[in-house]
Amino acid sequence: MALRHDQGIVLRGYPFGEADRVVVLLSPNHGKLRTVAKGVRKTKSRFGGRLEPFTHVDVVLYEGRNLDTVTQVSVIEAYPRLRGDLDKVLAAGTMVEVVDAVAQENEGSHRAFLLLQRGLSALETGPLHDDIVPAYLLKAAEVVGIAPALTACAACGSSDGLDRFSLSAGGVLCPQCRSGGAYALRSGLVGYLAGLVASDLSSLPPVDPVLSKDAAGLVRRFLEYHLDRLLASLAAMDV
């Protein structure tokens, strides 16, 4: 049992006991950390709002048998502007949900951490880009090793006539490899998706209203299919 230092982005928390909260953090070195913040739900808690979701914090943890206890917290980045915009909060919710789904405990997750950090920074600093969530999801797929094939047929590697997309094959298909369950793609969508993959989250290409909608739907279905779970944050806001 000892004190140790770590840093992470708060993914979520849930009430625990009378006034405590279990806070789940994503640490670049140790992956997902489940910690207990004692008394954090009391208005006079010394932790205050430092352990709210999306906050990047430096923490001192007291190692416990099951859960580590947070003894000190200092904020590295709080993303205050993000929190004042409903659409940005919802986008950040999806970003957090995806890394929460793919990150493991006690397993370094540098790339997932950096991706989340870049995603939150892009939301904080600029106006909300309509494609930020699909672009983030595509990059998350890459981090986990399930990036969709977009430049060559997922079955044979050919780069001609890629106008179908198969969830099970893991990307675009050429006319020879078409299968029954593959989606027909609108012209230009493959290039549009590749553009999102290649761009930085803070400098995404201009939005094409028609392709943007298709891209969002396709990327969401792809991620849900391969993660084998529905993205609750997107489903919650489907009205």
Partner 1 sequence: MFEAPVQKLIDELARLPGIGQKSAQRIAFHLLHVEETDARRLAEAVVEMRERVRLCARCFNVTDSEECSICRDLRRDPSAICVVERAQDVVVVERTHEFRGRYHVLGGAISPIEGVGPEQLRLRELIARIEPEGVTEVIVATNPTVEGDTTALYLARSLKPLGLTVTRLASGLPVGGDLDYADELTLGRALSGRREM
Length of the chain: 239
Q: Does 86 bind partner 1 (CB under 8 A)?
A: yes
Q: Does 84 bind partner 1 (CB under 8 A)?
A: yes
In the complex, least distance from residue 201 CB atom to partner 1, rounded to whole angstroms: 19
In the complex, least distance from residue 22 CB atom to partner 1, rounded to whole angstroms: 13
Q: How far is residue 81's CA from residue 78's CA, in Å, rounded to a whole number?
A: 9
φ/ψ (deg, to 5) at 173: -130, 150
Residues 122-141 contacting partner 1, CB under 8 A: none
In the complex, least distance from residue 79 CB atom to partner 1, rounded to whole angstroms: 10
Q: How far is residue 156's CA from residue 62's CA, in Å, rounded to a whole number?
A: 53
Q: How far is residue 43's CA from residue 40's CA, in Å, rounded to a whole number?
A: 8
Which of 49/157 has CB closer to partner 1?
Answer: 49
Report the residue from 4, 29, 63, 80 that binds partner 1 according to the rule CB under 8 A: 80
In the complex, least distance from residue 85 CB atom to partner 1, rounded to whole angstroms: 7
How many positions of this chain bind partner 1 (CB under 8 A)? 37
Residues 2-31 as x/- pattern, contact with partner 1 by CB under 8 A = ---------xx----xx-------------
Alpha helices in the chain (DSSP H): 80-83, 86-102, 110-125, 132-144, 189-198, 209-227, 232-236
Q: Does 64 bind partner 1 (CB under 8 A)?
A: no
In the complex, least distance from residue 94 CB atom to partner 1, rounded to whole angstroms: 7
In the complex, least distance from residue 156 CB atom to partner 1, rounded to whole angstroms: 39
Instruction: Check: CB of residue 204 under 8 Å from CB of residue 136.
Output: no
Residues 181-210 contacting partner 1, CB under 8 A: none
Other C-beta atoms lying within 10 Å of the C-beta of residue 210 = 12
C-alpha distances (whole Å) from 193 to each of 63, 78, 81, 168 are 44, 31, 28, 18
Q: Does 100 bind partner 1 (CB under 8 A)?
A: yes
Q: Give me 203's structure tokens.
A: 């400098």
Pairing, β 3-16 against β 56-62: antiparallel
Pairing, β 164-166 against β 171-173: antiparallel
Which of 33/234 has CB closer to partner 1?
Answer: 234
Residues 206-235 contacting partner 1, CB under 8 A: 232-235
Residues that bind partner 1 (CB under 8 A): 11-12, 17-18, 43-44, 46-50, 52-55, 75, 78, 80, 83-86, 89-90, 93-94, 96-97, 100, 232-239
